[in-house]
């Protein structure tokens, strides 16, 4: 069974909600790029239930960053699974504005474009190395694909609230060229 069908079935059986973030959400918002894992956004209040569910699906936790859990599939076959844990109020707000889409024949929810930008800005503020390049490229290409006015007040506010003024300036320069 494809991973998104497995996750949806198992989550619904437990009354859990999630949003698909990361590369799969980026693709659904208009920028085609490779991705090697499944990224989920879940409520921090449901961490224990998500850990139990992941283990039940045959995943092994290989990194616990507190608010970011990384899981490998049993036997090393299949998609890795990353979970970003956020406060329930944040999750509820993002869930309320989420968009429905199909992945592997299963209906899932992805964040709104603004929420996806906010996640990417947050990642850029806290990341290093190659991750920065990938997230920066995602923001730039998503802005272009969705004809977002990167000079507009709302985009700038998102960039500076969840990222930094420096990140915003780098995006402006990249989009100008």
pLDDT, one tens digit per residue, over 107-161 is 999 999 999 999 999 999 998 787 889 999 999 999 999 999 999 999 999 999 9
Neighbours of 48 (CB within 10 A): 8
pLDDT, one tens digit per residue, over 50-59 is 999 999 999 9
Distance between CA atoms of residues 95 and 59, nearest Å:
25
Q: Which residue ranges make up each domain of the chain? A: 1-111, 112-177
Q: How many CA atoms lie within 13 A of 96 on its CB side?
A: 6
pTM for the whole structure:
0.95
CATH fold of 1-111: Beta Polymerase; domain 2 (3.30.460)
């Amino acid at each position: 069974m494809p991973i998104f069908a497995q996750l949806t079935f198992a989550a619904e059986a437990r009354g859990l909600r999630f949003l698909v973030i990361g590369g799969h959400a980026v693709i659904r918002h208009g920028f085609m790029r490779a991705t090697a894992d499944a990224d989920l956004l879940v409520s921090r209040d449901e961490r224990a239930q998500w850990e139990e569910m992941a283990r039940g699906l045959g995943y092994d936790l290989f990194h616990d960053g507190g608010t970011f859990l990384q899981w490998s599939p049993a036997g090393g076959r299949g998609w890795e699974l990353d979970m970003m844990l956020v406060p329930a109020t944040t999750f509820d707000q993002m869930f309320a504005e989420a968009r429905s889409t199909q992945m592997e024949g299963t209906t899932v929810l992805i964040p709104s474009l603004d929420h996806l930008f906010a996640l990417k800005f947050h990642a850029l503020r806290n990341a290093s190395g190659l991750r920065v390049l990938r997230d920066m490229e995602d923001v730039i290409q998503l802005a272009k694909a969705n004809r977002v006015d990167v000079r507009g007040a709302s985009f700038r506010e998102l960039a500076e609230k969840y990222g930094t003024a420096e990140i915003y300036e780098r995006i402006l320069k990249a989009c100008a060229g």
